Amino acid sequence: MVNMKNDLINISELNVQDPFASIFPIGTETLASIKQDMETNGFDPVFPIVAWEGKNVVVDGHTRFAAAKAIGLTQVPVLFKKFDDEDDAVLYSFYIQRNRRNMSDDDILRCLEMLDTIHGAPGKNKEGDARKMTRKAINEIRAKELGVSADKVDKARKVLELGTDDIREGVNSGEKSINKAFQEMQEIRRESGELKGKPTTGLGGATRYIQSLGRYLKELTRVREGGWEDVSQEKALADLAAIKELIEG
C-alpha cells in the first residue's frame, strides 16, 4: 500500500460497490450531519475520499461521498491508494474505520464474518492455517482485531454458525445485542433437545458484573488522581453511552 496520490476529480468517476460499501453501513444521522457541515464549509480536503487506484472504487469515505453527491458537488478530493488485491483493500477499509468508531454489535457480527472470510474461520481457512489453530486461539486473534473480548467473539461466532436467520437478522438490524441473540439461540437449542442442561440463573453473571465494575471504578479513580489532561471528554462520554446501550440491549 504505497505510491499514494491526492487529486480533485469528478465525483461521477468514482464507483461505490460491495464489499466496501457494506462493511460499515452509512448512518442516517451521521449522513445528515456531514451534509449540513459540507453545505456550510465545503468538502474538507484534509479528509479526502480514499479510492483504489486503477479501479476508482471508493474504499473509505462512503458517507462523505454520499453527502457530497447529495448536495450536488461535482468534484471531490480523492486519495488514490494501490492495493495488492480485494482482500488487502477490504482489510485497509476495515481497520481505518474501526479505529475511529465504537463498534456496535451489528458491526461486530458483520466484521467477524468478513474477517473469517478473508483469514478463515476455525476449520475453514482457505490457506490451511486456521485448521492448525484451536477455536479459542482464533477467537483471541479476532477479539484483538475487533477490539472486543474473546468471549464476545465466541458468542458472535456461535450466533453466525447456529442462530436462525431471524436471530442473525435481529443483530444485523440493531434490534438485538449479540448476548441476547446468543441466549435466544441457546434456548431454542435446549427446547429442541440439541443442547442439554438448564439455563443459568444469572448469579454468576451478576457476580462478574460487580467484580468488573469494582475494578473499572478503581482504575478510573487512579486515572483521575493522575490527571485528566490527556483524556478526551468526548471519547469518555461516547464510552459511557456504549455502556448504557450494552445494559439496555
* Domains assigned to the chain: 5-89 (3.90.1530.10), 103-192 (no CATH), 210-248 (no CATH)
CB atoms within 10 A of CB 11: 16
185-220 pLDDT, tens digit per residue, is 999 888 888 777 665 544 455 656 766 777 777 777
Q: What is the reported pTM? A: 0.68
Q: Which three cell numbers stand for residue 2?
A: 504505497
- List the beta bridge partners of residue 78: 7, 49
Residue 161: C-alpha distances to residues 28, 101, 120 (Å): 30, 26, 14
Q: How far apart are CA 233 and CA 237, in angstroms?
A: 6
Q: What is the pLDDT of residue 190?
A: 86
Judge whether 115 and 139 are in contact, CB under 8 Å.
no
Which residue positions in the chain have pLDDT lower than 50? 1-3, 127, 201-203
